[in-house]
Amino acid sequence: MKRVTIKDIARNLGVAYSTVSMAMSDNKTISEKMKQKVKKKAAEMGYYPSRSARNLVNGRSGNIAVVTPGLFSLYEMHIVRGMEDAMLESGYDMVLHTAKYDWQEVHKEMRKIMYEQTADAVIVIGVMLTDEIIGEFKKSKVPLVNIDGGLKKTTCDLNIDNYSCGVIAAAHFVRTGRKRPALILGNTEFAFSQSERLRGFKTELKKNGISLGKNFICESPLYLPQDLKLLGCKAAGEFMEKGADSVYCANGDFAAQGVIKYCSDNNIEIPGQFSVIGTDNFDVADALNMTSIEQPLREMGKRAFETAEKALKNNGFSGGREFFTPKLVIRNT
C-alpha cells in the first residue's frame, strides 16, 4: 500500500501543503478548527508522520533508553511494566538495552547510547554507576535516571528503601521468637539493594542483641530463577547444620522457594521448626503461602519514565532523590 503523505492530505482538502504541515505540528498560526479538520482527514487517510524527519528538525531521537543488566527476572519486568504505563501517555518510545548481567557491559552500553545519540534520555536499572560515567552524561547534557542504584547524584535517583527491607525482615524474626536468623544475598559489590538490605538486617538484629555471623550469610551473584532455587535449597541445608532457625532471602522469592523445597524434602516444619521470608512478593510467594516483602516496582518504573520525560521538557530538570516504601506481607512461613 502506498504511503500517505502530507501532500496527499493537502490535495484532498484543497489547501496548501504548508497549512497541513503546520496544522499537524500544532503551529499557533493555524486555527483550532483547521487543525482538527486536518488531523481528522489524516486519520481517515491512514497518515503516519515521519518521526525521523521530525527528529532531524528538532535534534532529538524521540526515544528514552532503558539499560538493565538483563531481562531474565520478574524484578526488571515489573519495573518495565511501570515504564510502559507512563510511555503510553507520553510522546516518547522506550528502547530496551541489556548487557548479559555484566555490570561493565552496562557502562559500555550507556556510552554507546550517549555518543551515538540513539536516545534523548537514559534510565538505568539496578546498577551502581561510576562517578566517571555520571560525569560524562552531565557533560553531554543527556538526562540520566538511576533506579535502585544508590545515591549517585544523577538527574534523579529512585530507590526502594532497601535498608528498611532488612529491618522489616529482622524485626519480624525477633517478634516471632527467632534467635538465629540467616541471610541469603545477591552481589553486594554491584547491587546497592543487597548491601543496604544486609546493613538493615544486621543493624536491627544487633539492636535486639542478636549477632549475624559470617557463617550465617550466603552471598551469590546468581540471578536466574532456577539457579536461585538451587541456591536457596543448598544454603538452607548449610544454615540448618549450623543451627539457624530462620532465613531472610534478600535476593528474592525464588531463593526462598528453594529453602521451602529443602524443608519439604527433609520433613522440616515451616514455620514451626524453620521460618522463611522472601523478597518481591511475586506470584510464587502467593502460591506457596510465603511471607515476603513487597516492593512497589511498577510505581517506581512509572515515576522513572515520567522523570526522564520531564527532564527533557525542562532541559535537564533534576528530580533529586526518592525512596519507595516496602511492606511485609505475612503468610505462613
Q: What count of residues does the chain have?
A: 333
Domains of the chain with bracketed CATH = 6-49 (1.10.260), 61-160+297-325 (3.40.50.2300), 162-294 (3.40.50.2300)
Residue 208 DSSP label: T
Largest CA distance in the chain: 85
Query: Within the chain, which residues score under 70 in pLDDT?
Result: 1, 50-59, 316-317
Q: Cis (ω within 30 of 0) for the bond into 271?
A: yes
The whole-number pLDDT of residue 56 equals 47
Q: Return d(Cα 162, Cα 251) in angstroms, integer.
A: 11
User: How much of the chain is in helix, strand and coil states, percent to nearest 5?
Assistant: 50, 15, 35
Contact between residue 66 and residue 113 where contact means Cβ atoms under 8 Å apart: no
Query: Degrees (nearest 5) of the Cα angle 310, 327, 129?
Result: 45
Amino acid at position 161, single letter: D
Question: Cβ atoms within 10 A of the Cβ of 329, count?
Answer: 15
Q: Return d(Cα 324, Cα 137) in angstroms, integer.
A: 25
The whole-number pLDDT of residue 9 equals 86
Question: Cβ atoms within 10 A of the Cβ of 169, count?
Answer: 30
Question: pTM of the full predicted structure?
Answer: 0.81
Transcribe 75-86 into DSSP letters.
HHHHHHHHHHHH
Q: For residue 218, give the 3-state DSSP assignment.
A: strand
CA-based Rg of the chain, rounded to a whole angstrom?
Answer: 25
Residue 60 DSSP label: -
Phi, psi of 33 (to 5 degrees): -60, -45
Question: Cβ atoms within 10 A of the Cβ of 37, count?
Answer: 16
Q: Return d(Cα 121, Cα 92) in angstroms, integer.
A: 10
Residue 208: CA count within 13 A, CB half-sphere: 20
Strand partners, 65: 95, 122
The whole-number pLDDT of residue 167 equals 98
**Residue of 136, 160, 92, 162 lying closest to 305 (CA atoms):** 92
